[in-house]
């Protein structure tokens, strides 16, 4: 049994108006408190990623109404620019004190917003320089291809982001020391109802750790439902790739479903 901290992140994207996001955060906190002994520190770190519009309200609500449960928040994205004359942007420095971390390089931003590895690297650098923890999303579009193809995509994404972060003043050591978490999110599995197998996720975790030369915490994300959640954190696929938690989209929009996933992870690692 591993005593590593497991992490479950809810990514709400732009699905709900802010008032509903605050209500959902409250429902999740209430349900988690009901099911778990919150007097003891939870072995699963629960992080909610509301929209930017709701980030302050959700964080304040959790701190005020559910101070003991320890649910954190992360931003879904961040500006690649520093604070200053950048209309409409949300710089990392301004997220400090509000969110516990920032999701960087989600595939929806890469695909819909044309976010390149270079931009992803710049954002990583901003987050680390601000003293925050990045959650870097990497993911292939290689559903049926071999492991070699998947490895090539993941290694390229990692290396390109690393080079760009270094150009923006944050080197590999600083990145790893920031508490960097990587989420393996295959593009074909996100929102498709066709999750990657735990073995594929484990193999990807091995590829990413080898590329990084570091024992990074790695999450899996892509169509996770409560029924399949435990298998990811329990699995040790080819190369023994460990999955430390989950990034959950659609199934995090209902409090009961999301709490079921947290409970499945918590139970599967056999700790409190």
Instruction: Quote the CA–CA distance of 134 and 13 in Å, as a whole number.
Output: 17
How many angstroms separate the most distant Cα atoms in the chain? 50
- If one asks whether residue 185 binds ligand PEP (CB under 6 A), the answer comes out as yes
Considering the complex, state which of residue 70 and residue 191 has its C-beta at the smaller distance from ligand PEP: 191
Nearest approach, Cβ of 195 to ligand PEP (angstroms)?
Answer: 8
Which residue, judged by CB position, is nearest to ligand PEP in the bound state?
A: 249
**Nearest-approach distance from CB 204 to ligand PEP, in angstroms:** 14
Asked if residue 202 binds ligand PEP (CB under 6 A), the reply is no
Our finding on whether 136 is near ligand PEP (CB under 6 A) is no
**Cβ proximity to ligand PEP, 214 vs 251, nearer residue:** 251
Find the shortest distance in angstroms from Cβ 45 to ligand PEP: 17
Instruction: Dump strand ranges (E) for 109-200.
Output: 133-138, 181-184
Whole-angstrom distance, CA of residue 95 vs CA of residue 79? 10
State how beta strands 133-138 and 181-184 pair: parallel
Cα Rg of the chain, angstroms = 17
Query: Can you tell me whether residue 6 is helix, strand or coil?
Result: strand
Which part of the chain contacts ligand PEP (CB under 6 A), choosing from 25-33, 109-117, 141-149, 248-256? 248-256
Q: How many residues does the chain have?
A: 272
- Residues contacting 85, CB < 8 A, separation 6+: none
- Which parts of 94-236 are beta strand (E)? 101-104, 133-138, 181-184, 218-221
Is 247 an interacting residue with respect to ligand PEP (CB under 6 A)?
yes
Determine, following the binding rule CB under 6 A, whether residue 115 of this chain makes contact with ligand PEP.
no
Among 121, 249, 260, 262, binds ligand PEP (CB under 6 A): 249
The rounded distance, in Å, linking the Cα atoms of 97 and 94 is 8
Q: Which residues are the active-site residues?
A: 106, 185
Q: Note whether 253 and 26 are within 8 A (CB).
A: no
| C-beta closer to ligand PEP: residue 170 or 259 | 259
Between the CA of residue 76 and those of 107, 141, 235, what are the distances in Å? 12, 21, 27
Residue 33, Ramachandran bin (φ over 0: left; ψ between -120 and 50: alpha; else beta): alpha
Does 223 engage in binding with ligand PEP (CB under 6 A)?
Answer: yes
Task: Give the number of residues in contact with ligand PEP, rule: CB under 6 A.
Answer: 13
Binding residue (CB under 6 A) for ligand PEP from 221, 237, 241, 245? 221
> Does 79 interact with ligand PEP (rule: CB under 6 A)?
no
Among 191, 197, 199, 210, the residue binding ligand PEP under the rule CB under 6 A is 191
Which residue in the set 190, 226, 229, 265 belongs to the binding site for ligand PEP (CB under 6 A)? 190
Among 222, 237, 241, 245, the residue binding ligand PEP under the rule CB under 6 A is 222
Please identify, using beta-carbon distances, which residue of 51 and 170 lies nearer to ligand PEP: 51
CA 236 to chain centre: 20
Interacting residues toward ligand PEP by CB under 6 A: 11, 185, 190-191, 221-224, 247-251
């Amino acid at each position: 049994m591993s005593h590593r901290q497991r992490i479950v992140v809810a990514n709400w994207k732009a699905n709900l108006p802010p008032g509903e996001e605050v209500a959902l955060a409250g429902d999740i906190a209430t349900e988690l408190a009901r099911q778990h002994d919150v007097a003891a520190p939870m072995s699963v770190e629960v992080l909610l990623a509301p929209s930017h519009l709701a980030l302050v309200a959700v964080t304040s609500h959790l701190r005020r109404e559910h101070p003991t449960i320890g649910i954190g928040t992360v931003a879904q994205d961040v500006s690649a620019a520093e604070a200053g004359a950048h209309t409409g942007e949300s710089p990392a420095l301004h997220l400090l004190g509000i969110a516990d971390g920032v999701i960087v390089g989600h595939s929806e931003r890469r695909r819909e917003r044309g976010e390149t590895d270079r931009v992803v690297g710049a954002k990583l650098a901003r987050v680390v320089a601000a003293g925050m923890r990045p959650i870097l999303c990497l993911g292939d579009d290689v559903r049926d291809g071999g492991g070699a193809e998947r490895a090539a995509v993941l290694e390229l994404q990692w290396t390109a982001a690393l080079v760009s972060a270094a150009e923006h003043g944050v080197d590999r050591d600083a990145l790893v020391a920031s508490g960097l978490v990587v989420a393996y999110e295959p593009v074909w599995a996100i929102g498709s109802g066709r999750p990657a197998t735990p073995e594929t996720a484990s193999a990807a975790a091995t590829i990413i750790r080898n590329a990084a030369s570091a024992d990074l915490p790695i999450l899996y994300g892509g169509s996770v439902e409560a029924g399949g959640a435990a298998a990811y954190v329990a699995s040790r696929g080819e190369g023994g790739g460990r999955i430390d938690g989950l990034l959950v989209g659609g199934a995090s929009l209902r409090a009961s479903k999301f709490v079921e996933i947290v409970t499945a992870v918590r139970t599967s690692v056999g700790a409190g």
